[in-house]
Structure 1
C-alpha cells in the first residue's frame, strides 16, 4: 500500500455557542492566553497542540469537536481515505496563509479533519 504518512493530530476544533464564555474556560484549562482572538475564531497553542474555538460551528457546521491530522499532501491523503471508504464532507480548500483543510466522514459517521501547512 502506497501511503503519505500523517504527522499526527495537532489541531482540534471545538464548536461553541458563546465564544466569550468558552474562551475563559479554555484559557483556564490550558493555562495560556489565546494566540488568535477574533470574533469568528479563538485559537490557543498549548503543549504542541492547537485548540480552536469556532462560534456556532462555523461555515463547516460542526456539531462536535473535530480532530485534524496534519499531512504533507492533503490531496494524496484525501484520495487514500476515500479509496478506503470515507466520504468527503468538506473538500480541500485554503483557509488563509496557504493552510489547506478538508474533512471526510468515516463509515460510522465520524468526521475526520485533514490539514496541510505550506
Structure 2
C-alpha cells in the first residue's frame, strides 16, 4: 500500500521567503511554481538521488492550522553534523540534536524558519538500496 516517499509538503506564511531559503539550502531553483490570483501559491523542488518532491505551499491554502509537531520526515545526508550545523546557521532552530540511533543510523531535526519540521539522517539502508 505505501510504496515510498512521494512528496513532502511544507507551509509558509511568507512563501517567497521560504522559497528563497530552500533555494539557498538546496542549491537549486524550484522546478515547478503555481500562481493563484497573480501570486505564487506553491513551489516544488525535486531533490536527492530519487528526485523526491519537496513542495512549499502558501499557508492560506493549508487545511487546518499546521504547527511544528507530529511526524518528522528524514532526508538522507552523508554528513548529519554538517547538514545540521548549516541548517542552524541558516536560521532553523533545534528540534532534535544529532543522535546516533544505532550502527549506521544518525538523526537530527530542526524547525525551519517557517515552522516546519525537517529531519536529516545518515541511513545505511538508504545507501544499500542506492547501491
TM range (shorter): 0.3 to 0.5
- TM-score normalised according to structure 1 size: 0.46
- TM-score normalised according to structure 2 size: 0.42
